[in-house]
Amino acid sequence: MAYFDAASAAPLHPVARQALLAALDDGWADPARLYREGRKARMLLDAAREAAAEAVGCRADELVFTPSGTRAVHTGVAGALAGRRRVGRHLIVSAVEHSSVLHSAEAFEAEGGSVTQVPVHRTGAVSPSGYAAALRTDTALAVLQSANHEVGTAQPVAEVAEVCRAAGVPLLVDAAQSLGWGPVEGGWSLLAASAHKWGGPSGVGLLVVRKGVRFAAQGPADERESGRAPGFENIPAVVAAVASLRAVRAEAAQESVRLRELTERIRARVPRLVPEVEVVGDPEHRLPGIVTFSCLYVDGETLLHELDREGFAVSSGSSCTSSTLTPSHVLKAMGVLSEGNVRVSLPPGAAEEDVERFLAVLPGVVAGVRDRLGAPSAATPAAPEPAALVVDALGKRCPIPVIELAKVFPGVPVGGTVRVLSDDEAARLDIPAWCEMRGQEYVGEEPADGGTAYLVRRLG
């Protein structure tokens, strides 16, 4: 199996495995105790904290270990908002943040706070001016990821941090995807990360709160980890997490060049090998190992199953792979095609021959899925259609509404319109994306019985 889903969880690094096994013998005792075994555990924990702080670029007493990256985000957001409650009850996030950030924002809103979501460009990047415009006198906290988990786009963290610093607002950076590649630049105030993203064991997160940042930990008080991460520390896992972070950092410069070449190979060749494909994300300012593309007229769930049968583990932001039948909030915010979405995220050490085999297999897999769905072929002539017609796709899920639109469209005269009826949330994203890919005019949407009508006009 070629594992191409490192953005979800990177395989355990060999150094992490070795450190974990060694620490199981010496790091099992309570590090708060003064007897010999407790002191040995404390020495391991302190050494891990020092090494992690060096990798992050902070002081050791600013960093705590949490039970997960999600917990680090939740704790960081809640604590910073509570610490600055007197300033106000306003939170700023980007529209493409990880769900852990957006869930924190939802909880804050439910408690009476207000949240501003900063939009992104079609590449998935925010503009520093967007954060500047969102700042208010009552803004307590701003949050921005260092790089996007679904499309790999790197964010202008340093510039946004400067905008926030000038306004006296702390910036929390979710560095889960990027920390294994290097420290986060800029004058950020808080930082969260997760060990399983860089080849450490799951169940270990990092939370950094810079000195001088007002912070009030929420929940029952606890004497461990500066009161910010209650519960007994999992010292063997912490030691393994930090050991793997140091190991991947030592390999990062060379490995990033290699993975960037492999992902660029995918970005360039997939559109040539597979028709009707949109490669998404910033082509230059991006993480080394992530490349994402979407295929028209493809059921994302079926596509992932077929690739799995061919020996490839990939992930998707397509609504067709979701129990909610709604597209990824990241793809939605970017305004790009969501159906048939594939995210390839290469782990360190990914083999070039596996990438070549993926490129060899993909065209046939996509063609097979399209054939089973009855997707239109460019070689198939279309019967003439009236200047205005209705495509009833109510009750049909992605990618069927777009497939039905594409089937009738070749017969529509120039200037004619198609009214696509759909009750699938993905259609709101995929029909405009289809129009942009095909050079046609998306007129807009209007209410319709049982769903929504999406209007498309033929330009040529």
Cα(135)–Cα(167) distance, integer angstroms: 8
Contacts of 13 (CB under 8 A, 6+ apart): 198, 199, 200, 243, 244, 247, 248, 348
Tell which residue, 65, 70, 79, has the closest CA to residue 98. Answer: 70
Question: Given its phi and psi angles, is residue 155 left (phi above 0), alpha (psi -120 to 50 degrees) or beta?
Answer: beta
10 Å CB burial of residue 360 (0-12, 13-18, 19+) is exposed
84/149 Cα distance (integer angstroms): 29
b/e burial code for range 383-421 (CB count within 10 A of at least 16 → b) = eebeeeeebebbebbbbbbbbbbbbbbeebeeebbbbbb
Of 240, 241, 257, 243, nearest to 348 (Cα)?
257
Cis status, amide bond into 386, omega within 30 of 0: no
* Neighbouring residues of 96: CB distance < 8 A, sequence distance ≥ 6: 120, 124, 126, 145, 148, 150, 329, 330, 333, 334
Going by C-beta distance under 8 Å and a sequence separation of 6 or more, which residues neighbour residue 407?
A: 374, 376, 382
Q: How far apart are the first and last CA of the chain?
A: 45
* CA 95/CA 77 separation, integer angstroms: 16
Which tokens belong to 113?
């706070």
Distance CA 273, CA 276 (A): 10
Could you tell me whether strands 341-345 and 290-295 are parallel, antiparallel, or unpaired per DSSP bridges? Answer: antiparallel
- Which residue pairs from 385-388 have beta carbons closer than 8 angstroms and sit at least 24 positions apart in sequence? 385/411, 385/412, 385/413, 385/416, 386/416, 387/412, 387/413, 387/415, 387/416, 387/417, 388/416, 388/417, 388/418, 388/419
Just list the catalytic residues: 320
Task: For 24, list phi and psi in degrees, rounded to 5.
Answer: -60, -30
Question: Rounded CA gap, 190 and 283, in Å?
Answer: 28
The DSSP code for 159 is: H
